[in-house]
Amino acid sequence: MTIAIGLSLISAALLVAMSGHNPLAAFAAMATGAVGSPHQIGVALNRATPYLLAGGGVAICFRAGVINIGAEGQIALGGSGAAAVALHWPDSASALAVVAALLGAAAFGALWAAVATAIHLGRRVHEVLVTLLLNFVALLLVQQVLSGPLGQSGAGFLQSPAMPAAATLWQLPGLGCECRISDRACRGGGIVAGALAHPLWLRSARHRGVRAAPRLTRASPFRVSPGAVMLLAGALAGLAGGVEVLGVHHRLIEGFSLGFGFKGRNRRAAWGARASRRRTGMRSSSAMLEAGSQSMQRQIGVPSALIFVIEGVTMLFVLAATVRRA
Amino acid sequence: MIDFLARRNPDRNAPFVCGAWRRPFRARRGVRGWPRGHDADGGVFQPSSGRGPAAVSLVGIGLALAGGAAIGLVVAIVTVRYRADNMVTGLTANIVAAGLTSYLLRVLSGAGRPVAIHLTPLPPWADPWPGRPARNRAVAVRPPAADLSSDCRLHRPRNLPAPHASGPDFARDRRKSETVFASGVDPMRVRIVAVVALRRRRGPRRRSAIASAGRNLYRWHDRSRGYLALASLIVARWNPLGAALACLAFGAAEAFELRLQGFGVPVSSYVVQMAPYLIALGRARGTWPHVENAGVHRTTAVVGPMRIETFEGRIALGR
């Protein structure tokens, strides 16, 4: 792992030097931007939330032997569900609106996973194909909904009206107090996601055992179907979409889910080769780097897109090193 | 109407065709053709194709080929040499390529400035038939023409030895792999060449996508055409010629979607965009049951070799 990160940093340093900047200064700005203040830590947690939730769901599927790459669509549908419930909740001032909206997000995500599962099991289509193709259908469905019932008339973009204040997620004390953009940062989703993901991950080890070893199946009281695992993963991804809509954007926006699903799944897959206790931390670290890259771009002028190169190269090195050792 | 489709459709379907035809070829060599979307691989090196000597179309195509092959080489090494999972590696390469594209766009186009991106527009491709819609026809014809040699290989007899380690028919694949081993061919070398050769084809696909869309490289220029190419292959049941026809149909749909509302047809353009994926899902029936009949099959996995087993009528993946 250390070698993989080191090699990827060297690759990134070469790219930074190629653009005429000092790599050390760029990395220092990135680190400062990631963990330099409580606000930055809150931003990183905020960014980590969808990765943790969606990645946790995908992890459970992987451990259970089901390849689910439909997190992107499930996040999109989850966000739509959260927006639909929050905008149509009868008592918009009630604190229950948040809970209902999050439940709606999880339900919509699970529903989309159920569609994939039904096609997979009913028509005997490989789950990779189903979940992958349904991603694009989901993204287009969200656009269709935003241009129709959930759309804000007169807006220049495909977006919904703003969520009611009671339906937005709460702010973590101590992290958001100094925020210049306090209404967009430091929401509690990161902590919730971390609290959810790790026990579910440990639990999924049993699922994997059930499916991977027929002998264990006969001895174990647990009977886990692929459908149940997919529903759980869909609910988690939908929850990620709901947190993103209710805690970050405060409205449903076209394309808000782009990248979360694929990155969450790939990170999980790459980090999945490592010890399980490190995975949540790894995903959080990636989010911190993304938060820090914005600071690097502002201070040094190195494009923040560099962070995706670092992440991707690290994952490639981790994949190569781990499988070779295995 | 017909004239509109005739002019616009080639713009749309050329990238699809380039993307789609690579997959059966790869699959016959034991590499799953996992989709690459957005501005992946070949696009990495294309910022340079708008400058200097790349103003010549052939040089631009050459750079595009080299870009696709370079990313393909990385994927080939990780998947074949280190036995990492094809899907995860391919999609991780997407992240690298997308980030690298975005980074290089900014570095090359404005000394690192992260805002507006303006490259010199690519020159229009020469018109092989004067008097006809120049750019469209050129874009439609050249990338497939460049793939003629590979196309011949696509139609090679199926009984020739090919190290087909994974795919829908595992039993047949296993027999083929054994044949290859027995013939003394190095499967690893063949697979690496297959990956590199077929990733190479993504270069012209990007180039044609750029040339058809304002002749400039911009973020998300790919617009998930890789996945539409996959959908066309599924619709055609992995037949290259059928995939080309499906690409024509999808290209027509894409060209038609914005005009649809102008004609007063009460169908949303989003529904039209969904259609290829829904049709593919409808046609994808039966890509899974082969696994059940295969007994035990070894394939590469996320962490290490996985075993696909069946018990109680269900599939189990384990290590």
Q: Give the relative orientation of helices B2-27 and B240-260 as an angle to the nearest 10 degrees.
A: 140
Digit-coded pLDDT (tens) for B186-195: 555 555 565 5
Q: Please indicate whether residue B282 or residue B41 has the higher confidence score (pLDDT).
A: B282
DSSP assignment of A10-61 equals: HHHHHHHHHTTS-HHHHHHHHHHHHHSSHHHHHHHHHHHHHHHHHHHHHHHH
In the numeric block, the tokens 């080769």 are attached to: A273
Q: Find the residue in B nearest to A298 (Cα).
A: B114
Say if residue B12's pLDDT is above 60: no
Percentage with pLDDT > 90 across chain A: 11
Q: Does B160 touch chain A (CB under 8 A)?
A: no
Strands (E), chain B: 297-299, 306-311, 314-318
The residue type found at A20 is G
Say if residue A219's pLDDT is above 50: no
Tell me what pLDDT residue A58 has.
81
- Give the integer Cα–Cα distance in Å for B217 and B237: 32
- Cα–Cα distances in angstroms (integers) from residue B241 to residues A113, B64, B142, B151, in the given order: 33, 24, 17, 10
Say if residue B209's pLDDT is above 70: no
A323 to chain B: which residues are within 8 Å by CB? 82-84, 300, 303-304
Contact state of A309 with B103 under an 8 Å Cβ cutoff: yes
Say if residue B292's pLDDT is above 90: no
Q: Point out the least confidently predicted range of A71-75, B157-161, B167-171, B203-207.
A: B157-161
Tell me what pLDDT residue A110 has.
94
The residue type found at A272 is G
User: Residue B181 CA to chain centroid, in angstroms?
Assistant: 29
- Give the integer Cα–Cα distance in Å for B220 and B212: 14
Contact state of A67 with B74 under an 8 Å Cβ cutoff: no
Q: Does A308 touch chain B (CB under 8 A)?
A: yes
Q: Does B263 touch chain A (CB under 8 A)?
A: no
Contact A261, A237 (CB under 8 A): yes
**Shortest Cα–Cα distance, A169 to chain B (Å):** 30
Digit-coded pLDDT (tens) for A53-77: 888 888 778 777 777 888 889 999 9
Please name the member of B100, B274, B317 whose beta carbon is closest to the beta carbon of A137. Answer: B274
Digit-coded pLDDT (tens) for A154-163: 777 888 888 8
Say if residue B14's pLDDT is above 60: no
Say if residue B2's pLDDT is above 80: no
Q: Residue B79: CA atoms inside 13 Å, Cβ hemisphere, count?
A: 32
Q: Find the residue in B nearest to A263 (Cα).
A: B95
Tell me what pLDDT residue B40 has.
38
Tell me what pLDDT residue A309 has.
81
- Please tell me whether the interface predicted TM-score (ipTM) of this complex is above 0.85: no
User: Once rounded to an integer, what is the mean pLDDT over residues A92-113?
Assistant: 88
What's chain B's average pLDDT? Answer: 57
- Give the integer Cα–Cα distance in Å for A236 and A56: 7
Tell me which range, B13-27, B48-62, B258-272, is most confidently predicted by mean pLDDT.
B258-272
Q: Which of the four pLDDT bands, split at 50, 70 and 90, describes residue B158?
A: very low
What's chain A's average pLDDT? Answer: 74
A267 to chain B: which residues are within 8 Å by CB? none
Contact B204, B252 (CB under 8 A): no
Contact state of B99 with A316 under an 8 Å Cβ cutoff: no
Contact state of A323 with B303 under an 8 Å Cβ cutoff: yes
B122 backbone dihedrals φ, ψ, rounded to 5°: -65, 145
Say how many Å lie between the first and final Cα of chain B, rounded. Answer: 56
Say if residue A46's pLDDT is above 50: yes
Say if residue A103's pLDDT is above 90: yes
Which B-chain residues 21-60 have CB contacts (< 8 A) with chain A?
35
Q: Does B93 touch chain A (CB under 8 A)?
A: yes
Q: Which of the four pLDDT bands, split at 50, 70 and 90, describes residue A262?
A: low
Say if residue B132's pLDDT is above 50: no
Tell me what pLDDT residue A138 has.
92
Tell me what pLDDT residue A235 has.
92
Say if residue A36's pLDDT is above 80: no
Please name the member of B85, B278, B317 whose beta carbon is closest to the beta carbon of A212. Answer: B317
Q: Please indicate whether residue B91 or residue B146 has the higher confidence score (pLDDT).
A: B91
Q: Find the residue in B nearest to A326 (Cα).
A: B304
- Give the integer Cα–Cα distance in Å for A241 and A79: 4
Tell me what pLDDT residue B213 has.
47
Say if residue B180's pLDDT is above 70: no
- Cα–Cα distances in angstroms (integers) from residue A192 to residues A49, A109, A172, A236, in the given order: 8, 17, 11, 11
Contact state of A19 with B112 under an 8 Å Cβ cutoff: yes
Q: Find the residue in B nearest to A264 (Cα).
A: B92
Say if residue B60's pLDDT is above 70: no
User: Residue A167 CA to chain centroid, in angstroms?
Assistant: 21
Q: Point out the least confidently predicted range of A22-31, A148-157, A285-294.
A: A285-294
Please name the member of B92, B278, B304 whose beta carbon is closest to the beta carbon of A326. Answer: B304
